Structure 1
Amino acid sequence: MNNRIVVYSLLTFVMLSWGLNVTALKVLVVDMAPITMNAFRVFVAGVGVLLMLWLTKSIRKLTLKEYGFLAFISLFNVVGHHLFLSVGLSNTTATNGGLILGLVPILTALVSIPILKTRLSFIKTVGIIVAFFGVSFVVLVGSTGTFSVSIGDAQVFISGFTQAISFALIKKASSKIDARLMTGWMMVIGSVIMFILSFIFEPEGLSTMATTDVKLWSVFFASALIATAFGHMTYNYAIQHIGPSESAVFINLNPLFALLGGVVFLGEGIYIEQGIGFILVVIGVLCGSGAVEHWRKQKKEVQLRPPA
C-alpha cells in the first residue's frame, strides 16, 4: 500500500510537470526557433535518461535491428510529437494545447485497434465520443460562435496523434527492450533527426539559441530534465507497477495543470467553453481509456473473493 502511495505521488508530480511543460514550451517558442529549440531540449533529456540508466547499471548494448526499430518509433514519439507540439504552441494558447493533449489516452485506444488488435467496448466507444465532443468546446474559444479550428490547434492535435501511435508501438516492443532504455535512445535519435530538419525549416534557428537570458535557459533545462527526462522515466516506472489503465487515469490531471499554468504564468483567461471541454475530456478519458472497466473488474474480483 505504501509503495502504491509513492507511485501515485510520483504520477501526480509528473502530470504537474507535463502540464506546466506546455506553458514552458509556450514561453520558449517566443524567443527560440521551435524545431531547433526542441531538438536541443530533447537531446539533453535523452542524454539525461541514458546517464541515469548508466549510473544505476540498467543500460545494455542494443543490436543494429533494435536501433533501427527505435529510430522508426522516434519518428512518431519524438520528431512528430515534439515538432508539431512546439510549432503548434506558437500558433495557439497553452490552455488550448494542454486540453487537446488530454485526448492522448483516447487516441492511443483508437490506434491500438489496428496495431495491437484490441477491441472497443461500448463504454470505451461512448468515452471516445464524449472526449472528442469536449475538444470541440475547446476549439470554439475565441470564435464568433461558429465552429472553427486554428492552425495551432490542428498542429497540437497531430502532435498528440503521433504520440499515441508511438505509445502503441512502444507497448508492442517493450517485451523485448526496457521501456526506460527505449525512452533514452528514442530521444537521442529523434533529436538528431529534428536537428537535421531544423536546417531545412529554420535556416536561422541556431542564431535564436544564442541568448544569455538566464531565466529562459532555466526554463529550458527544467523542461528537458524534469518534465521530459524524469517525467517519461517515471511514467514508464508507474506502468510497470500499477499497470497502464490505472496510470492513464492520472493523465486527466495534465490538461488541468496546463490550464492553470496558462492562467498563472501567461495571463491567459479561462472561458466557459474550456471548462465544459475539460470536464467532458476527463469523463471521456476515464471511459475511453479503459479505466472505468478496470475499476469495475477490480471491484467484481473483490466481491467474489472468499472471506479470509
Structure 2
Amino acid sequence: MRPLEAGKLYGSVMLVMLMWGLNVVALKVLVAEINPVYMQAARILLAGLSVALFVFLRREFEWVPRAAIKYILLAAVFGMTGHHTFLAVGLSETTAVKSSLILALLPITTSLLAMIFLGDAFTKLRWLGVFAGFAGAVLINVTGEDGGAVQGAATGDAFIFAAMAAQAISFLFIKKASELVAPRVLTIYTLMVGSVGLFAVSFILAPSGWESYITAPGWVWLVFLLSGIFATGLGQILYNASISKIGPGKTAIFNNFVPFFGLLSSALILGENVSPAQLGGFVFIVAGVLLGTGWVDQLLLKKRKQAPVKHHS
C-alpha cells in the first residue's frame, strides 16, 4: 500500500473513531429518554436506510453472490443483533467505566481471532502495540472522577463481555464477506438484517418499550438522527472498507481511540472531569496504534531496504 493511500485509509478510520467517541455522549442521552433495546433497533434501521439511499443514488448497489450470504447473516447476527442487544442490556446493569474497560478488549480479541482463524501475521512489535493500546484503555477507564478502580464482576459485566466478543467475531465474517461483496453494499445488508433481529429481540424483552418513542422530546430525535446516520451509517461504511483493505486485526487496534474520544467529548459536552492519568492513557493508545497496525514494522523495513549495502573486501 502506498504511503498516500495508507494515510487516507488510516485517516478515515480515525474519523470513524471520533464519530464513535462522540456517539458515546449521544447514546447516554438517548438511553435516558428511549428504551435502550428499542433505541438500538431503530438507530440501526435508520443507519441501514441511510446507507442504502447513499448507495442507490451512486448506483453502486449490487446483489450479493450466494457464497457471501452466510457470511453476511453471521456478521449481522453477531455484529448487529448480538452486539447491540448485549450492550443495551449490559449498560443497564453495570457502570460505564467497567463497560468501557471490557469493550477495550476488542482489539486484542479481534487480533487473536484473526491470527487463529485468518492466519494474520504477528510480529513482536505488533504484540507490543496490542498490549500498549490495552494499557492506555485501562488508564483512561479506571481513573474516573472518584479515582476508583474497577471492582468485582456482575451479570452486567458478562453481557458487556458478550457484546465485545460478538463484535470481534463479526469482524472475521465481515472480512470474509468483503472479499465477495463491496463494503458499502455489505454494510447495507448487515445493518438491515441486524435491525430486524434487534426489533425481534426488543418485542421479546420489552413488549411495551415502544411507548418510549412517543414520549421522547423533539431534541432527542435530532440526536437520534445524527447518531444513526453519521456515527452508525457512515461510520460502518468506512470501518468495513478498512477491514477489507488491512484486515480485522489491524483495523480493530484503532478502537482503542474510542474511549479517549468518548472521554474528551464527555468532558467538553457533559462537563465531566478528565484526570492526568487518563491523558497519559492516550499516549499509550497512540503508541499502540502505531505499533499494532504494523506501521512501525513497515517503517523499519523501508529503512532497511534504503540502507546502503556494505561490501566486504
Q: TM-score, normalised by structure 2?
A: 0.81
Residue of structure 2 in register with 1:75 after alignment: 77
Name the SS of the counterpart of 1:209 in structure 2: helix
Mapping for residues 171-190 of structure 1, pairs under 5 Å: 171-190=175-194
Name the SS of the counterpart of 1:182 in structure 2: helix
Q: Which amino acid aligns with 2:259?
A: P
Match of 1:104 among 98, 103, 106: 106
Q: Distance in 2 between matches of 1:202 and 1:117?
A: 41
Q: Distance in 1 between matches of 2:151 and 2:285?
A: 18
1:135-159 CA-to-partner distances (Å, cap 9, x unmatched) read: 4443464575675456655544432
Q: Distance in 2 between matches of 1:28 and 1:70?
A: 28
Q: Distance in 1 between matches of 2:149 and 2:103?
A: 23
- The runs of 5 or more residues in structure 2 that have no matched partner are none
Deviation at 1:170, TM superposition (A): 1.3
Q: CA 1:264–1:158 in structure 2 vs 1: closer, same or farther (change >3 Å)?
A: farther
Deviation at 1:162, TM superposition (A): 1.9
Contact 1:109–1:289, Cα closer than 8 Å, also in 2: no
More displaced, 32-41 or 251-260? 251-260
Q: Distance in 2 between matches of 1:254 and 1:207?
A: 31
Contact 2:37–2:198, Cα closer than 8 Å, also in 1: yes
Contact 1:94–1:258, Cα closer than 8 Å, also in 2: no
More displaced, 30-39 or 284-293? 284-293
Deviation at 1:14, TM superposition (A): 2.5
Q: CA 1:215–1:300 in structure 2 vs 1: closer, same or farther (change >3 Å)?
A: farther
More displaced, 141-150 or 206-215? 141-150
Deviation at 1:239, TM superposition (A): 5.6
Q: Distance in 1 between matches of 2:277 and 2:87?
A: 22
Q: Distance in 2 between matches of 1:265 and 1:94?
A: 17
1:79-119 CA-to-partner distances (Å, cap 9, x unmatched) read: 12222333344455656655654443332211112221234
Number of aligned positions between the proteins: 304
Name the SS of the counterpart of 1:176 in structure 2: coil
Q: Distance in 1 between matches of 2:188 and 2:136?
A: 34
Name the SS of the counterpart of 1:234 in structure 2: helix
- The runs of 5 or more residues in structure 1 that have no matched partner are none
More displaced, 4-13 or 120-129? 4-13
Does 1:254 find its partner at 2:258?
A: yes
Q: Distance in 2 between matches of 1:279 and 1:196?
A: 42
Q: Which amino acid aligns with 1:50?
A: A
Does 1:162 find its partner at 2:162?
A: no
More displaced, 8-17 or 226-235? 8-17
Residue of structure 2 in register with 1:225 after alignment: 229
Residue of structure 2 in register with 1:120 after alignment: 122
More displaced, 274-283 or 77-86? 274-283
Match of 2:38 among 27, 36, 39: 36
Q: CA 1:61–1:172 in structure 2 vs 1: closer, same or farther (change >3 Å)?
A: closer
More displaced, 111-120 or 226-235? 111-120
RMSD: 3.3
Identity, % of aligned positions: 35
Contact 2:143–2:277, Cα closer than 8 Å, also in 1: yes
Match of 2:59 among 57, 60, 65: 57
